[in-house]
């Protein structure tokens, strides 16, 4: 019988019923329990009384819940996490005690995924892993002043740069790690150069798939789909501008799933550019219905300018869609010439012109786009699976414990 590993783990927020990072962390930990018994230090759920691991046979939950609680404060809460400081010190006190009293094969800081936050586990051993790390990507300078909360983000960016290079806690956080598990090569570029040898690319979390996906009916139209918040960082305004300029636009149907600050402006743009018969704003839609919509589509049109990872991209690939994106961040790493089309980062005009050219090409070469969609699905099945991730993690845990 194979011996199970013993892992001490820190994850800021965990909740199988939440969305975003807390939900992702739950799935990472749940899959790691296939090879390890986990002692989890966490603040638990931000929304619910239980995080989902209370009765798990291979997880021991130890709560480090901040007493000073903040209500949801939009961009400030997402970017800064004001209660993380208290969580950090509470979790670190617990971790120090556990490391003295018990033997662990490895220590693993799961979340926050952003490199902005130091791990409570730093300097507590030689066998520390940090990741997945897939944050630190900022909007190109020509866009950063326009988005809502842009000023706060610029301040955070400046603070991040200073702390990563001069903050003693951050230096210990990175310096004491045996490995930094990054989700894409771009993450390494945003970390101090001295850490390059510690970085190892670990594939991002595999997408959820439908057991019984709907069958796509035959259609003469090419169905484009966008999934995400309707904000400048997601590039949805660039997508619509490119579609408006495309001569063969009537060959497309464009379904947009999501809501956001630009929604009214985008709808007005469609009216002024006679796109009402082509573009459908679907609003907020339950996740299972979005997955169904992917299976009824042909191309994910996703020119995001600041996509640290790209869940929508991996879900679209799994559903057999070709992807049209900007060559930046997570999508730029995941998409190659076999499974989609990428345009280079540039000014808004340059990106729109490049997207317009690609849309025209797709309209004239629909069969090629279908082939790329098939290749995208195969890539997900072969490279972005929990089996592949857990195998790589097991090797890293074993190497760290030596």
Tally Cβ neighbours within 10 Å of residue 94: 18
Q: Give the domain extent around 284.
A: 222-383
Higher pLDDT, 232 or 150: 232
Q: What is the CATH number of the domain that holds 29?
A: 3.40.50.2000
Same domain, 312 and 396: no
CA distances from 7 to 29, 41, 101, 172, 267 (A): 10, 11, 14, 20, 50
Residue that has been written with the tokens 């490895």 in this structure: 106
Q: Does residue 158 fall inside a structural domain?
A: yes
Higher pLDDT, 159 or 31: 31
Same domain, 148 and 297: no
Mean predicted lDDT score pLDDT of the chain: 89
Per-residue pLDDT at 18 exceeds 90 = no
CA distances from 21 to 13, 40, 112, 166, 249 (A): 8, 16, 7, 27, 37
> Which pLDDT belongs to residue 81?
80
> Which pLDDT belongs to residue 357?
98
Same domain, 226 and 199: no
CA 214 to chain centre: 26
Q: Which residues contact 223 (CB under 8 A, 6 or more apart)?
A: 252, 253, 254, 255, 296, 297, 298, 299
| 16-41 average pLDDT score | 92
Same domain, 66 and 144: yes
Query: In this predicted structure, which of 25-29, 91-95, 236-240, 398-402 has the lowest mean pLDDT?
Result: 398-402
> Which pLDDT belongs to residue 204?
78
**What pTM does this model have?**
0.84
Q: How far apart are CA 154 and CA 160, in angstroms?
A: 10
Per-residue pLDDT at 389 exceeds 60 = yes
Per-residue pLDDT at 63 exceeds 90 = yes
Same domain, 132 and 281: no
Q: Give the total number of structural domains in the chain.
A: 2
Per-residue pLDDT at 126 exceeds 90 = no
With cut-offs at 50, 70 and 90, classify the pLDDT of residue 62: very high
Same domain, 114 and 134: yes
With cut-offs at 50, 70 and 90, classify the pLDDT of residue 5: very high
With cut-offs at 50, 70 and 90, classify the pLDDT of residue 44: very high
Residues in the chain, overall count: 402
Q: How far apart are CA 164 and CA 75, in angstroms?
A: 22
> Which pLDDT belongs to residue 67?
84
Percent of the chain with pLDDT over 70: 89
């Amino acid at each position: 019988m194979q011996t199970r590993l013993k892992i001490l783990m820190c994850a800021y927020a965990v909740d199988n019923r939440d969305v975003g990072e807390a939900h992702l962390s739950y799935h990472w930990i749940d899959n790691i329990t296939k090879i390890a018994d986990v002692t989890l230090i966490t603040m638990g759920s931000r929304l619910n009384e239980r995080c989902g691991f209370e009765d798990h046979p291979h997880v021991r939950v130890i709560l480090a819940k901040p007493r000073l609680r903040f209500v949801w404060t939009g961009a400030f809460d997402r970017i800064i996490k004001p209660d993380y400081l208290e969580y950090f010190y509470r979790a670190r006190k617990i971790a120090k005690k556990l490391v003295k009293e018990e033997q662990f094969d490895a220590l693993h800081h799961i979340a926050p995924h952003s490199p902005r936050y130091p791990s409570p586990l730093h300097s507590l051993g030689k066998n520390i892993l940090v990741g997945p790390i897939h944050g630190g990507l900022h909007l190109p300078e020509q866009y950063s002043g326009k988005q809502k909360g842009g000023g706060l983000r610029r301040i955070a960016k400046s603070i991040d740069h200073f702390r990563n290079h001069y903050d003693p806690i951050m230096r210990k956080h990175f310096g004491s790690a045996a490995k930094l598990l990054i989700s894409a090569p771009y993450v390494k570029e945003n970390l101090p150069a001295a850490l390059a040898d510690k970085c190892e690319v670990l594939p991002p979390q595999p997408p959820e798939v439908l057991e019984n996906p709907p069958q796509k009916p035959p259609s003469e139209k090419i169905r484009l789909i966008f999934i995400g918040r309707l904000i400048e960082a997601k590039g949805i305004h660039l997508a619509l501008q490119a579609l408006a300029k495309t001569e063969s636009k009537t060959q497309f149907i464009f379904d947009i799933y999501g809501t956001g600050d630009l929604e009214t402006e985008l709808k007005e743009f469609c009216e002024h550019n006679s796109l009402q018969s082509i573009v459908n704003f679907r609003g907020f839609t339950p996740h299972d219905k979005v997955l169904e919509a992917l299976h009824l589509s042909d191309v994910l049109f996703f020119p995001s300018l600041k996509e640290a990872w790209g869940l929508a991209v991996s879900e679209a690939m799994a559903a057999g869609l070709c992807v049209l994106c900007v060559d930046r961040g997570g999508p730029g790493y995941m998409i190659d010439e076999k499974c989609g089309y990428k345009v280079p980062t540039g000014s808004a005009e340059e990106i729109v012109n490049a997207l317009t050219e690609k849309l025209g090409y797709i309209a004239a070469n629909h069969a090629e786009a279908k082939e790329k969609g098939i290749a995208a699905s195969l890539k997900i099945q072969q490279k972005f699976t929990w089996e592949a991730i857990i195998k790589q993690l097991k090797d890293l845990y074993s190497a760290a414990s030596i």
